[in-house]
Structure 1
Amino acid sequence: MRKSLFGCSIGKAMVPKPKDAVEDCYATYEDLQRGLRMCGLESSNVVVAIDYTKSNTWTGETSFGGKCLHDIDAEHGALNPYQTGQPCEGFAGVLARYNQVTPTVKLSGPTNFAAVIHETIRIVKMTRRYHILVIIADGQVTDEKGTDRAIVEASNYPISIIMVGVGDGPWGTMCDFDDPMRRRRFNNFHFVEFSNSRSASNPDIAFATAALKQIPDQYVHIRKEGLLTVYPDTPAH
């Protein structure tokens, strides 16, 4: 079952929470900001990964008028989901680089998140700093086992992974990766479907809240596990 993007679900039965579970209780951006301050996270480094696989040509049939999800409309200024999926102020350079590179890229497959996760691990081992990896993709993953192993390995490091789903999905695999019961030191992977925030009165704030709301508790788990100071010797692939 897909998790609610906003706030916490309240049911009649209480289910015991696994030790690595991450709270999902920030309903507003103001709540999220307070949570970030309370956990001691003042700044973060961000790695942005963008999906250029072939499936982007057809997974916008419903959500993007049948066009390729990377279609750049320079004449009319219409933004594609990848261009609008980056609401943070510091991302002007990322967006400019995306607009420069995308017209030259030939879409192909298969899709595997493992490479960018391992690269983020390498960066973290080199810099010894907390990083947030933002993967913007259409959700079509061909090597699920390889990606799953990489997510598990990343839980040994101070890394939070946010997967932003653009296009029509399906999102079943992403929801599976977001399962807190999986074998990780903490629940380091959070999936958010981009289109779910577009109908909000302030879509950018709604999306930022949905995407970042697990960061405070993830950071608490990272500090509790000592991942900011202890780095495994296992090499990143």
Structure 2
Amino acid sequence: RGGGTLFANVRKSVGKGVLRLAMSGIKLSNTEGFLRKSDPFYELNRRMDSAGAATWDNVHRSQVVSNDLSPTWKEATLELSVLCGGDLDLPIEVKVYDHEKKGDHVLMGEFETTVNQLVAAESDTIDLMKNGSNTGKIKINKAQVVGAETVMEQRTEYSAAATAPPPGVPTFADYVSGGCELNVVVAVDFTGSNGDPRQPGTLHHIGSGLNDYEKAIKSIVPILEQFDSDKQIPFLGFGAKYDGVVRHAFQIGDSEELDGVRAVLDAYRGVFATRLIMSGPTVFEEVMQTAAAKAQSRLEAAQAEDKQSYTILLILSDGAVSDVEATKACLESINETPLSVVIVGVGNADFSSMEFLDDSQSLGERDIAQFVPFNEHCNSPADLSAATLQEIPEQLVSYFQKHDIQPRDQMTVEDEEIIIEPEDEIDLSLDFGDQEIVVSGGGSVANSW
């Protein structure tokens, strides 16, 4: 009733290869006033000629760089079939916005270009314009076409019988359709700053509804489960004391791996009856090293059976790490393993110091870490899962390509192999005694779902 009209533009995929694009801003004009700075992100729009008029279709949006008028955005890998339909001279619109939480983003400037022009402008700058005025510059740090003919190659092609161009770079879908399994490891923060879970309003409070840790698990893990045949999930905790010793990576549950998200949620609620002492500091290194070892072991076991495997470590934490440099060093040490690390910040803490995770990529290394603040997506499980999993496809492809591991042939599934199981309810009830939990620190107040 009064729902409006949805228009869909369906077109055949044309063009091979990708554009690897890395850009940064230089002295962008501030739209936030005197006391604050803008939070820039950019969009790429492809020109479409339809119904006798030109329109612009959004094909890519960068991450937001907070409070920075000279932002450096992460390198993006863009399929040419999506970006320009294989036409390297097709107009592309680049728009830079100041991010606003309510969604009414403010235009900071724009310019029009093409793939070929971006490639030619590598290491150079392009003026950002708004209403005829210069609002800063965009530096093209990297613009490289891979797996497609450049203009020069097209001009020097002798005949149709010449050697075929390099094949396009494989996509995430190619690996998944070839049977690559996604494994997930979950790690939860039990430091004292979470507060006493017996007290309503604290982050680990066990009540009639789901707390923020449970919401994050329930939103994200089931998506990854779909690509894991055995659905066995290692579940770790960190930041708590057992027998007077702080443990930065301890097993949660009765076994090393738990059978699906339901078992993970049950084990989470059961951990508070194990006489743990919620302590500190906040240390990620041991859970990251443990997950990296599991990821490498699983890939080697899969390859022995002519299969493929990739692992995602989901860390849920209420605060910033205690030692940034040690965390950076650990990320560098596990960079060569088939692993992505996603940290979801739960609660109302100041997570600004965690932005280093999105900028921790060293020259020549993969970007394997991402930080997502839970409160920015707490009103929508779909938004939370989308934001959390956004970078994983590119990270998976970059790992396999760096190690020259190509997708396997697409798997086929016979009708009789498809099993649809009824959806179970998840019982999250828990009864524990007042003397079974000791908390050594204060906590934060969680937002309601």
TM-score exceeds 0.5: yes
Quick check: 1:220 aligned with 2:354? no
**TM-score computed with the length of structure 2 as normaliser:** 0.41
> Would you say the 8 A contact 2:328–2:360 is kept in 1?
no
Q: 1:169 aligns with which of 337, 349, 358?
A: 349
Which ranges in structure 2 are unaligned for 5 or more consecutive residues? 1-37, 44-59, 63-94, 97-109, 111-136, 144-170, 223-259, 300-308, 407-449
Q: 2:381 aligns with which of 204, 221, 226?
A: 204
CA distance in 1, matches of 2:292, 2:404: 12
Q: Which has the higher contact order (CA 8 A, sep 6+)?
A: 1
| Letter paired with 1:83 | E
Secondary structure in 2 aligned to 1:168?
coil
| Letter paired with 1:116 | V
Structure with greater proportional strand content:
2
- Cα pair distance change 1:39/1:143, threshold 3 Å: same
1:144-159 equivalences under 5 Å are: 144-159=324-339
| Letter paired with 2:173 | R
CA distance in 2, matches of 1:53, 1:123: 24
Quick check: 1:100 aligned with 2:270? yes
> Would you say the 8 A contact 1:165–1:192 is kept in 2?
yes
CA deviations 1:20-40 (Å, max 9, x no partner) are xxxxxxxxxxxxxxx742554
**TM-score computed with the length of structure 1 as normaliser:** 0.74
| Letter paired with 1:215 | I
Which ranges in structure 1 are unaligned for 5 or more consecutive residues? 20-34, 230-237
Q: CA deviation at 1:15?
A: 3.9
| Letter paired with 1:130 | Y
Q: Which residue of 2 is the match for residue 194 of structure 1?
A: 374
| Letter paired with 2:61 | C
CA distance in 1, matches of 2:333, 2:298: 18
Q: CA deviation at 1:127?
A: 2.1
Structure with greater proportional helix content:
1
Secondary structure in 2 aligned to 1:205?
helix
CA deviations 1:108-131 (Å, max 9, x no partner) are 011110000111122123222311
Quick check: 1:50 aligned with 2:103? no
Q: Which residue of 1 is the match for residue 294 of structure 2?
A: 123
Q: Which residue of 2 is the match for residue 25 of structure 1?
A: none
> Would you say the 8 A contact 1:47–1:120 is kept in 2?
yes
Q: CA deviation at 1:17?
A: 5.0
> Would you say the 8 A contact 1:50–1:136 is kept in 2?
yes
CA distance in 2, matches of 1:227, 1:165: 34
> Would you say the 8 A contact 1:158–1:228 is kept in 2?
no
Q: 1:67 aligns with which of 198, 201, 204?
A: 201
- Cα pair distance change 1:124/1:196, threshold 3 Å: same
| Letter paired with 2:265 | L
Quick check: 1:143 aligned with 2:334? no
- Cα pair distance change 1:225/1:45, threshold 3 Å: same
CA distance in 1, matches of 2:264, 2:176: 26
- Cα pair distance change 1:125/1:37, threshold 3 Å: closer
